[in-house]
Amino acid sequence: MSALSLSLSGGGMRHLAGWSHRLGTVAVTLLGLLALTFFIGRVMPLDPVLSIVGSDADQSTYQQVYQQLGLDRPLYVQFGYYLRDLMHGDLGMALLTGNPVTTDIARVFPATIELATVAIILGTFAGVPLGVFAATHRGRMGDQIVRVLSLFGYSVPIFWFGMMGLIIFYAWLGWAGGAGRVDLAYDGLVQSRTGILLIDSAMAGEWDVFRSVIKHITLPACILGLHSMAYISRMTRSFMLAQLSQEYIITARVKGLSERQVIWGHAFRNILVQLLTIVALAYGGLLEGAVLIETVFAWPGFGSYLTSSLMLGDMNAVMGCVLLVGLIFVTLNLLADALYQVFDPRTR
């Protein structure tokens, strides 16, 4: 076997070992997340039995349901049974709806994906240029304005933005839609194929429904997008400042390249890989953190479902939601690692 073959074989083994280590870390992380959520949920001052039987039920009925839910077993035994069912794809039944948790999540999650996707598109297309602008105007008025805007968008509670947005743009100006994903007149008019109303209404050719969806999603998506824009612009500015201080930028300018070529053709291209990670993590944060904005706008998505489940003490639903959030973040991190290796050969 040639030296080249040995080198490639060794590189492949190291690559395989690296991904095996990552997957092992993922499994341990998700297991720890599930265990922590499970045991915290069991000591919370919420009684799922009362949520089912009501406060007027007699003691025998209460005990019967208590045993049916397996709450009479030790905590470690309950967790073991949960893991056993999880290995078979069973997340249990939701007390809130009486449906399997997997069915409920599959029903509500597309609404959150739709909202978060529109928000991350808005946040990225606004945050990246603002971050580049701030970096190229460091210390000047434009830089200060972008930094203040980013600090404002990142620091102010998102539910306050939501309430102010409804008061100004819905109740006062009438520009935005109200609660929900679509006007009541169009609710249920379009057959759900993907669960994403923008796509389903366009595929069905129902353009009145499509315009209604746009009207309803614009305000909550802009508010979420402002939050992600603040984070993305700050990170873009930091990455660009680090690149603009490098010697190759000075060399490019000495060669007579235009400022546009220096900024976008050299400096920005070298931060693309880092930005991919930032945008991926911001997107995961939107999918997880849409709870408050969905509550304010009565958006029937993942966040509203999780909030209702927590209030009811429905730990099967809460555990399923926590598992999904963990999988999202882990998947996005792995995707970012893979993109790093695709776009930056030095990391292979």
Given this model, what pLDDT does residue 51 score?
63
pLDDT at 118: 92
pLDDT of residue 124: 93
d(CA 160, CA 176): 17
* CB 111, CB 181: distance < 8 Å: yes
Helices (H) and strands (E) in the chain, counts: 15, 0
75, 77, 79, 80 alpha-carbon torsion, rounded to 10°: 160
- Which contacts of 207-210 are long-range, i.e. CB under 8 A and separated by 24 or more positions? 209/182
What tokens were used for 86? 């999880």
* Beta bridge mates, 93: 100
Q: DSSP of 37-53, one letter per residue?
A: HHHHHHHSS--HHHHHH
**Identity (one letter) of the amino acid at 19?**
W
Tokens 């069991």 belong to which residue?
42
- Residue 78 CA to residue 68 CA, distance in Å, equals 12
**What is the Cα–Cα distance from 234 to 133, expressed in whole angstroms?**
11
Are the C-beta atoms of residues 249 and 262 closer than 8 Å to each other? yes
- CA dist 40 and 29 (Å) reads 17
Q: Which domains can be identified in the chain, with CATH numbers? A: 19-87 (no CATH), 101-347 (1.10.3720.10)
φ and ψ of 91, to 5 deg? -95, 5
What pLDDT does 6 receive? 45
- For the chain (length 348 residues), average pLDDT per consecutive 10? 48 60 72 76 66 68 72 76 79 80 88 91 92 89 88 82 85 80 80 84 86 89 89 91 84 81 84 85 78 83 82 80 81 74 60
